[in-house]
Structure formats: C-alpha cells, structure tokens
Amino acid sequence: MKYFFTKTNLAILILTFVFGVIAFPIWVHHNRSHFPNSFVMRYSDFGPPSSSYELLGSEWYQWNSQGPDDPNGRDDVKVVIYRNVDLPTVKRTYPIFKGKSDYRYIEYREVMDFLEKRMEELKADQDRDPEHRRLNKELISEYEQTKDKIIERLGP
C-alpha cells in the first residue's frame, strides 16, 4: 500500500479516466446508431413540412411554440423509424433532451403507408403546368429514395 500512489500509478489512473470520459460517449453513439430495429433520418427526408406535418408534426423543436426566428434556420429534428420493437424501448434508446435532441418516433408500417400514399397522390395529379409536373416528379423521387433507405436498413 506504501507505493500505490506513485507518480506513474497516478498518471495511469488519470489517463484511464480521461480515456473513459472520451470513449464512453463514442460507444453510446455507436450503439445507438446501430440499434437493429430502428433507423434515424432527418425531418427533411419526408418532403416539405406542409406534406409531412400530418405524419411528423411541426418541423421545429417540440418544446418551442414556433420555428427559429431566422427564416433560413432549421431545427435539427430527427425521425426514428422503428420495427419489431416496442415504443418505450425506442424512447429509452433515443431520449428527447430539451435544447439538445428532438426525435419523432414513427412505426415502420405507418411510414411506409405514408410514403406510398404521397407517391400515389403525386402520380395521380395530372396538372398541365410543366413546372408543377417537374416538381411532382422530384418529390416522387425523394419519397422513393427515402423508402429505399428505410427498406435497406429495416427490410421490406
């Protein structure tokens, strides 16, 4: 016990502590991002807010009564799509911390139905305006890409 607190032992103890403080958040993030039954996406992956509001709610943080004051500003709202796991488990894995992280939790089937419905609506819209048709095609493409990403991660 006499030689337990030597300079070398204290240096090793401090380095181990510092390494742990750095490594732990990285480990938590790594495990959270590889949770097998969920997939985290951006709010913007679901089209314009006017279209995705029905599924996701407002595009700003849920603890704010309105969006950012800067018209070009965007709140970083994430969407967690989950499958074959209960909602309380998903909420524990991706907790909401006011001022830090905001998530919307959506079940896989609900997301897929939403995307299919939006694509069908856009395909059925036979507007004569070429600009309107071009925008519809872009939105359909974005919805298809989002759907493909979800299927790639969580399966068909």
Crossing angle of the two packed helices 49-56 and 108-124, in degrees rounded to 10: 150
- CA nearest to 51, candidates 127, 150, 131, 146: 146
Q: Give the containing element (helix H, strand E) for 79.
A: strand 77-82
The Cα–Cα gap between 100 and 76 comes to: 9
pTM above 0.75, yes or no: no
Q: Convert the pLDDT of each residue in 12-61 to its tens digit.
A: 778 887 777 776 666 555 555 556 788 999 988 888 887 888 888 777 66
Q: Convert the pLDDT of each residue in 87-135 to its tens digit.
A: 999 998 888 888 777 898 999 999 999 999 999 988 888 777 888 888 8
Tokens of 136: 């519809």
Contact between residue 134 and residue 116 where contact means Cβ atoms under 8 Å apart: no
Angle at 143 between CA 97 and CA 64, to 5 degrees: 25
